[in-house]
A = this chain, B = another copy of it.
Amino acid sequence: MIKFEEAFEIVQNAANRTLKTERVHFTDSMGRILAEDIFSDINMPPFDKSAMDGFACRKQDINNELEMIEVLQAGSIPKNKVGENQCIKIMTGAIIPEGADCVLMVEYTEETPDGKVRYTKRSTNSNICYFAEDIKKGGLVLTKGIEIKPQHIAVMASVGAVLPLVSMKPRIGIISTGDELVEPEYIPASSQIRNSNGYQLIAQVVRAGVLPHYYGITEDTREATFNVITKALNECDIVLLTGGVSMGAFDFVPEIMIETGVDIKFRSIAVQPGKPTIFGTFQENTFIFGLPGNPVSSYTQFELLVRPLISKLMNNCHLPKSIKIPMGVEYTRRKSERKSFIPITISPDGKVYPVEYHGSAHIHSYVFADGIVSIEIGKEKLEIGELVDVRQI
């Protein structure tokens, strides 16, 4: 049994090659991982630009009555130069005319009886967005490895990066094992349980932005298990096995993994929940997890180990972030020989409260959870007000 941090390192280091890349239309790139740096092909702003609707003039003239010599729309070229005690009525986004070094906000101006413009305040900002102040032509605007969000789509649009290079998605296979499992549409007999883990994993994979392949519930025999693992290893980049809760169902899985050619890297982790988590590699580029049969364990180990592997394979530079938030209550545990992960909610006033949690089979404990908090080995208590790392889910 190894520590969680070691398990995490083993999984991350196993992913020593990243997936291939492909070009997609930028409008289809939401949630993908950018696989190239993107540079601007233009200056932004492309000229000194008015930040306001108002009157462009010389700063030294703002306390004088000004003669309006032109009206300037955005998208038009100024015809005149602004001289002493002159101004040009200007719209937001229009080019600052030569001679002017500020824009008086229209709200603080008035017309004099003889049709001149008078500023009603004593001082002004320049109210100019200067040439290339946001970005210079050739400047780096987006870096390799980011997960593409709406604001990045806007940046791509603004620099004409219409076919960005992104990482391909891993193929992920999900195999459910255990003769006691029945699919959700059936009513389980007394010794049976419905397959909830398989579908939870499918949804977790979908949330990670990847389309999973579900291999169904495999019959609890060595032959069927060998065949489905072999098939999945050859078709996928990552294979997830999820068992029923019975040991029986999972007994021979590590042995069969070895028979299929898997190099098992670890068989259990000093964590709660998720101790019986198996990880192995196949022909260097394929990864297999035997996830615990309990739904909370399976959920947690997917988020903590599998999802960061998916990110690493796609060369995503941002692993899911934790946030430090204070505990709203004291929390104690009786045993501290494993690192534990507990479901929590975050209250409106920004404090962490553990939710009712009966252990790794307690599928409902995560229904209202906002995140997961970890408690280190040897630590029995989280104090009120103590800052804890919250992994939001």
**A residues touching B (Cβ–Cβ < 8 Å)?**
26-27, 30, 41-42, 44-47, 49, 51, 53, 73-77, 91-95, 129, 133-135, 141-142, 146, 149-162, 179-180, 184-188, 190-204, 206-207, 244-249, 293, 295, 299, 321, 323-325, 346, 348-350, 358-359, 361-364, 366-367, 369-370, 387, 392-393
Contact = CB atoms under 8 A, between A and B. Distances in A.
A248 B91 contact: yes
A47 B152 CA distance: 52
A187 B41 CA distance: 9
A324 B347 CA distance: 9
Copies of this chain, whole number: 2
B179 A160 contact: no
A158 B51 CA distance: 57
A30 B206 CA distance: 8
Nearest to A129: B361
A196 B350 contact: no
A199 B151 CA distance: 9
A184 B160 contact: yes
B74 A158 contact: no
Contacts of A91: 246-248
A93 B294 CA distance: 10
Given A74-B180, A74-B246, A180-B74, A199 B367 contact: no
A153 B199 contact: yes
